[in-house]
Amino acid sequence: MADNHLIAKNTVFLYIRMLLSMGIYLYTTRVVLSILGVEDYGIYNVVGGLVAMFSFLNATMSGATSRFITFELGKNSSKVQTVFSVALTIHIIIALIVFLIGETFGLWFLENKLTIPATKMYEAKWLLQFSIVTMIFSFTQVPYNASIIAHEKMNIYAYFELVNVGLKLLSVYLLLIIDANKLIFYGAIVMLTQIGVTLLYRLYCTRKWEHCKFNLSLDREFLRPLLSYSGWDLFGNASLVARTQGVNVLLNIFFGAILNAAAGIAMQVQTAAMSFATNVMTAFRPQIVKTYAAKSYSEMINLISLGSIITYILYLIIATPLIFEMDFILHIWLEEVPDYAVCFCRLALLMDLFSNLGRVLMIGIDATGRIKETSLLLGCLYLFVIPISYILFKYQAEPYVPYIYNLFTPLLAIPINLFWLNRYIRKFSPMVYCKKVIVRLIFVTIVSLSIGWIIKENIEWAWSRLFMIFICSSFSSLSLSFYICLNSSQRTVLLTAIKSKLNGRKK
- pLDDT per residue over 166-224, tens digit each? 887 887 788 878 777 887 888 888 888 888 888 888 888 888 887 777 777 777 777 77
Q: The whole model's pTM is what? A: 0.72
- Which residue type, as a one-letter code, is found at position 34? S
**95 assigned to some structural domain:** yes
Q: Compute CA distances 314 → 282, 329, 477, 480, whole Å.
A: 14, 19, 9, 13
Q: Is residue 84 part of a domain?
A: yes
CA atoms in the 13 A half-sphere facing the CB of 389: 28
419 assigned to some structural domain: yes
Give how many domains the chain has, as a whole number.
1
pLDDT in tens, 405-463: 888 888 888 999 999 989 888 888 999 999 988 999 999 999 999 998 999 888 888 88
Q: CA-based angle 240:201:176, to the nearest 5?
A: 80
42-57 burial, b at 16+ Cβ within 10 Å, e below that, comes to: bbbbbbbbbbbbbbbb
Distances (CA, A) of 364 to 49, 287, 361: 30, 10, 5
Alpha carbon distance 104, 106 (integer Å): 6
437: domain range?
4-502
pLDDT of residue 75: 65
Q: What is the pLDDT of residue 117?
A: 77
Task: Report the 10 Å Cβ neighbour count for 365.
Answer: 21
pLDDT tens track for 466-489 = 888 889 888 888 888 888 888 777
Query: Tens of pLDDT along 67-81?
Result: 777 777 766 656 777
Taking only the tens place, the pLDDT of each residue in 42-71 is 777 777 766 666 666 666 666 677 777 777
The answer to whether position 507 is within a domain reads no
